[in-house]
Amino acid sequence: MSVPEPAGGEEAKQAKEAEDAEKFSFMATVTKAPKKQIQFADDMQEFTKFPTKTGRRSLSRSISQSSTDSYSSAASYTDSSDDEVSPREKQQTNSKGSSNFCVKNIKQAEFGRREIEIAEQDMSALISLRKRAQGEKPLAGAKIVGCTHITAQTAVLIETLCALGAQCRWSACNIYSTQNEVAAALAEAGVAVFAWKGESEDDFWWCIDRCVNVDGWQANMILDDGGDLTHWVYKKYPNIFKKIRGIVEESVTGVHRLYQLSKAGKLCVPAMNVNDSVTKQKFDNLYCCRESILDGLKRTTDVMFGGKQVVVCGYGEVGKGCCAALKALGAIVYVTEIDPICALQACMDGFRVVKLSEVIRQVDVVITCTGNKNVVTREHLDRMKNSCIVCNMGHSNTEIDVTSLRTPELTWERVRSQVDHVIWPDGKRVVLLAEALALIELYNAPEGRYKQDVYLLPKKMDEYVASLHLPSFDAHLTELTDDQAKYLGLNKNGPFKPNYYRY
């Protein structure tokens, strides 16, 4: 006969956790693709040397737990903490004997390859482009240095660029979003990738520098997400920057910095604003955020949103996606806006437009997606109700004043990897959670087509991107007859809308 285990073991522990869960409520911050605020102005901070705080991870970069996760992240090795040795201290080689990379563990490559193969099944446009153009090698001779999230999905992009003839060196734009197994798979395939999940601030800039500062190899194209890579080359390697043939930037923050450079007369290379292309705005900002906001919040909080009061700060494409998703779950959604046109759109979509200060005490969830700074201040944080969730879906984490929470009266408690409780004196807890055609166009454009300025992706190429997606939906476009095309004053093959058209 077995003797029953005495009370006070695992059951008691679970009971205590349940009691704590009922006693304390929380709020969480989740970011889509947070970035460190970098200023280009001469009177702002310049990164003239590597940061010296190597012992702690920067608080300027929040944690991304939403759209940067892989489709099969539940089985991912990324969160493994079995090896705490810094990748910079390891000597690793891939199966071909190359050590031109720095990743967490090259032995994870096989698993990462399966992740990439799964992602390829849902990225028909890139795969179609790869099949159509790899024979022509339109990027032959291109030496691309990139700084984006490193996930299974971006790996498909990177390998497509390589298939089209480019040589690539890559680092991560976010210190928390890298899928280690995917980085290992890229390294095994021969891509010079320098990234791992949980980099320190010093590691972040070291990885970027390793991609740029290479003997016998000089980049002639930049693909950036947020502007950090562009800023590093511009400040540290001006001679390389002057020889860059083109920059492709895919974020609101990065594009804003490029326009600042252009306005100041300091942008000496042409740049492509991919962020404001229609396919980027609709697919990434609207449709993807419509799903990733719920995915990120559910993963980190397990909150039921039916009946919850939510305020979404900003009603651009990201805000529209967030509002639609939360409304579909039965949440009561408010919107804050500075733009009267976007505010009117929110009203017509059935949302009440308010000031944040008007609802801050009553809402259960605050979501920022403005790209601005100081949208949620310490004053707002102090006035929030117990159990309020704060989520940043914008690109820059400057929207929420997280720095103000680093004060003596507040206690920080690490509960698990990338999850911190911030505890107020009264017991309140805050849970703190942590593109290819444009390159082809810039690289192959005849001299003089693009001057030293920022350009939007041509409408014809935007339509081409959309057309690559259609076969996966078994969609069949209607073709104009010659007479119809003449009547509308259009080319039968497009573009079908003028540049000023808003979809």
Instruction: For residue 295, say whether it is annotated as part of any ligand binding site.
Output: no
For residues 275 and 284, what is the distance between their CA atoms, to the nearest angstrom?
9
Tell me, yes or no, if the pTM score tops 0.75: no
CA distance 220 to 229: 13
- 132-153 confidence digits (pLDDT tens): 887 889 999 999 999 999 999 9
Measure the CA–CA gap between 346 and 339, rounded to whole angstroms.
Answer: 11
Q: What angle do CA 237, 242, 248 make, to 5 degrees?
A: 95
Determine the Cα–Cα distance for residues 388 and 24; give it in Å rounded to an integer: 11
What does the pLDDT read at residue 46?
40
Q: What pLDDT is stored for residue 272 in this prediction?
A: 87
Which tens digits make up the pLDDT trace of 360-377?
999 999 998 887 778 888
Mean pLDDT across the chain: 78
Indicate whether 320 pLDDT > 50. yes
Rounded to 10 degrees, what is the CA torsion of 17, 304, 63, 432?
Answer: -50
pLDDT tens profile 17-42: 544 544 433 333 333 444 444 444 34
From CA 149, how far away is CA 178, in angstroms rounded?
6
Interval 105-135: pLDDT, tens:
999 999 999 999 999 988 888 888 888 887 8
Percent of the chain's residues with pLDDT above 90:
38
pLDDT(79) > 70: no
Are the CB atoms for 139 and 445 separated by under 8 Å?
no
State yes or no: 55 annotated in a binding site: no
Q: What is the pLDDT of residue 157?
A: 93
Q: Please write the tens of the pLDDT for every residue from 144-184.
A: 999 999 999 999 999 999 999 999 999 999 888 899 999 99
Q: Is 280 annotated as a binding residue?
A: yes
DSSP run (H or E) holding 116: helix 109-120
The region of weakest confidence among 337-341, 348-352, 388-392 is 388-392
Q: How far apart are CA 155 and CA 133, in angstroms?
A: 18
Residue 250 marked as a ligand binder: yes
Q: What is the pLDDT at residue 396? A: 54
- Residues 422-445: tens digit of each pLDDT: 788 888 766 665 546 555 655 666
Residues forming beta bridges with residue 392, ordered by sequence position? 368
Residue 316 annotated as part of some ligand binding site: yes
379 is in an annotated binding site: no
Q: Measure Cα distances from 465 to 115, 270, 333, 445 in Å.
A: 24, 21, 33, 18
pLDDT of residue 41: 39
Instruction: Compute the distance between CA of residue 184 and CA of residue 195 in angstroms, rounded to an integer.
Output: 9
Confidence of residue 419 (pLDDT cuts 50, 70, 90): low
Select from 79, 177, 28, 179 the least CA-distant residue to 416.
Answer: 79
181 or 300: which carries more pLDDT confidence?
Answer: 181
Annotated ligand binding at 317? The verdict is yes
Separation of alpha carbons 314 and 371, rounded Å? 9
Q: How far is C-alpha 388 from the geometric centre of its chain's CA atoms?
A: 24
Secondary structure (DSSP) of 392-403: E-SS-GGGB--G
pLDDT tens digits, 53-74: 333 333 233 333 333 333 333 3
- Using alpha carbons, list the distances in angstroms from residue 204 to 196, 209, 228, 416, 422: 9, 9, 10, 22, 25
Tell me which residue of 128, 198, 121 sits closest to 152, measured CA to CA. Answer: 121
Task: Tell me: is residue 5 an annotated ligand-binding position.
Answer: no
Is residue 320 part of an annotated ligand binding site?
A: yes
Strand, helix or coil at 282? helix
Write out the two tokens for 399. 């929207």
Q: What is the pLDDT of residues 224-278, one digit of tens each?
A: 998 999 999 999 999 999 999 999 998 878 888 898 888 888 888 889 888 777 6
Where does 249-288 have alpha helices with state H? 252-263, 278-279
pLDDT per residue over 451-501, tens digit each? 666 656 677 777 777 778 778 777 676 777 888 878 778 888 888 777 656
- Does 319 count as an annotated binding residue? yes
What is the pLDDT at residue 406? 87
* 191 has a pLDDT exceeding 70: yes
Euclidean distance between CA atoms 394 and 318, whole angstroms: 8
